[in-house]
A and B are shown apart, each in its own frame.
Chain A
């Protein structure tokens, strides 16, 4: 049996999630923003897998699988959008994208 309990994994997942959140809030580069979101999704996955082992249920793994699928779809769409935005404005700094501001 693995001697490491669930708590260290949850703490690590929490730290990674916060770093991802910090990245989303502080970086202005749209691609880095996306990468930070991926980091957050990954930390959530880590927590799910840790809890799946804690409870001995494979359902957690299944949810991780779904999260990965959704992340793949999101990245594909998001990067396509970024490419189009870059073509239009020659910039992916999200501070430049404010034409929808009221």
Chain B
């Protein structure tokens, strides 16, 4: 990699030097194209593929072609740097360049020599909370409060305000169904500073009084996204688990479907049941004990676990089944859209005691994070954060366009022509020489010179 950078940068500097020293402007322009190509290559090495392509099309494609056009249009290929009047500028320019080099190089050199490191920005991590503890009258637990603490030092701890998590936690029953059947967004995620957090939940046994506190330590790596799942384990105790989410864009033409199991007594499988739409047909064909005719997408997911898979674009009939092949939930006519990142949390619905338990597959969505420097990433920043500057630049281009049209219109040429003629007419010589010029006859000398007759003496 180093040698590649070295070769490309040497070519770039060499091309720039050739551009400066060529007498023929066409050669200069061609060397500048080489230089721009090298810079585009460096952009590729700097994880900026979109800019590399823009560099090639806009700079080497459009701008340099415009340059070559003008050079050849004017026939100014070999306009020399003659005139020697300003020769001292060359020396002064070299001196200024050396001075700038020293000024620029000094901080870099001192930084390279010293062990001073640049302070980076805080590394961020994304966290969302999914509360899958069944609540309601019939259930034993209810989450009253939830908080996060990040230890700064051994003694001092700082509480972190989590606006996005509050309404998901305080007194909530099953917040896993909060966004049921609607598209929630990655706003579900809260941005935090990466680090270790203590997460705690206060729960009561239905009377809102006992306030038993559960806590766990979670560790958030920089640039990561996590789901903190709060669920009830087989012993009816609360547990936290930290699931790492994959929010990179899924492969082309697929969506990413993640399944989270919060059911203590079930091992959940996700099955593509093809043309069948009911439990019965699933049961008939699968002979209630085998899933053979169906495509098993995710197999036997244990409690508090998460598995992701990529699903091709299209319509599906999906079923969530437990380890005994009972369908817990069927999603008929499920549409898999490309680029979607979806998490399905299988949770028990709150209900009166003794009733048949019902289950839901709550939907949580996330926006895919595009790769750094990709057209998508640049476009998102460009058209969300920088909409106004984009508009202004558009106006600027429009003004430039109009300006060029005004400058280049034939009328302007005619005016220039007229001005030149006018300049020739505007004279501050005596009228006689004007007449002499325009008639072609030299009235000041020769036979047209008026002769003084004798007796025609001047008055004085």
- Please list the residues of chain A having a beta carbon within 8 angstroms of any beta carbon in chain B: 2-4, 7-12, 14-29, 31-32, 34-36, 38-39, 42, 45-46, 49-50, 52-56, 58-59, 61-62, 64-66, 68-77, 79-84, 86-88, 91-93, 95-96
In order of increasing CB-CB distance, the 5 nearest A-B pairs are A25-B93, A73-B400, A80-B407, A28-B81, A19-B16
- Please list the residues of chain B having a beta carbon within 8 angstroms of any beta carbon in chain A: 1-2, 5, 9, 12-13, 16-17, 19-20, 25, 28-29, 32, 35-36, 39, 42-43, 45-48, 50-51, 54-55, 58-59, 62-63, 66-67, 70-71, 73-74, 76, 79-83, 85-86, 89-90, 92-94, 96-97, 100-101, 104-105, 108, 111-112, 118, 120-121, 223, 372-373, 377-378, 380-382, 385-386, 389, 393, 396-397, 399-401, 403-404, 407-408, 412-413, 416, 420
Q: Name which residue of chain B comes closest to A91, CB basis.
A: B79
The docked-state distance in angstroms from the alpha carbon of A4 to that of B28 is: 30
Interface centre among B105, B377, B407 (most CB of A within 10 A): B407
Which A residues are CB-close (under 8 A) to B62? 72
B160 CB to nearest A CB, Å: 22
The docked-state distance in angstroms from the alpha carbon of A45 to that of B5 is: 17
Dominant SS among interface residues on chain A: helix
* Residue among A14, A39, A84 making CB contact with B19, cutoff 8 Å: A39
CB of A68 within 8 A of CB of B54, answer yes
A-B contact pairs, 16 of them (CB 8 A): A3-B1, A4-B45, A18-B101, A21-B93, A22-B97, A28-B86, A29-B79, A31-B67, A32-B20, A35-B32, A36-B20, A58-B373, A68-B54, A68-B55, A70-B396, A75-B67
CB of A28 within 8 A of CB of B48, answer no
The docked-state distance in angstroms from the alpha carbon of A59 to that of B89 is: 38
CB of A83 within 8 A of CB of B43, answer no
Q: Name which residue of chain A comes closest to B419, CB basis.
A: A88
Which A residues are CB-close (under 8 A) to B94? 22, 26
Which B residues are CB-close (under 8 A) to A80? 403-404, 407-408
Given contacts A73-B400, A79-B67, contact A42 B59 (CB under 8 A): yes
* Residue among A27, A46, A65, A91 making CB contact with B39, cutoff 8 Å: A46
CB of B397 within 8 A of CB of A96, answer no
Which B residues are CB-close (under 8 A) to A82? 70, 74
Given contacts A11-B108, A35-B28, contact A27 B81 (CB under 8 A): yes
Dominant SS among interface residues on chain B: helix
CB of A49 within 8 A of CB of B393, answer no
The docked-state distance in angstroms from the alpha carbon of A79 to that of B76 is: 13
Which A residues are CB-close (under 8 A) to B112? 7
Which B residues are CB-close (under 8 A) to A11? 105, 108
B115 CB to nearest A CB, Å: 14
A7 CB to nearest B CB, Å: 6
* Residue among A10, A19, A26, A88 making CB contact with B416, cutoff 8 Å: A88
CB of A16 within 8 A of CB of B16, answer yes
The docked-state distance in angstroms from the alpha carbon of A64 to that of B59 is: 12
The docked-state distance in angstroms from the alpha carbon of A42 to that of B13 is: 12
Which A residues are CB-close (under 8 A) to B5? 4, 8
Interface centre among B9, B16, B373 (most CB of A within 10 A): B16
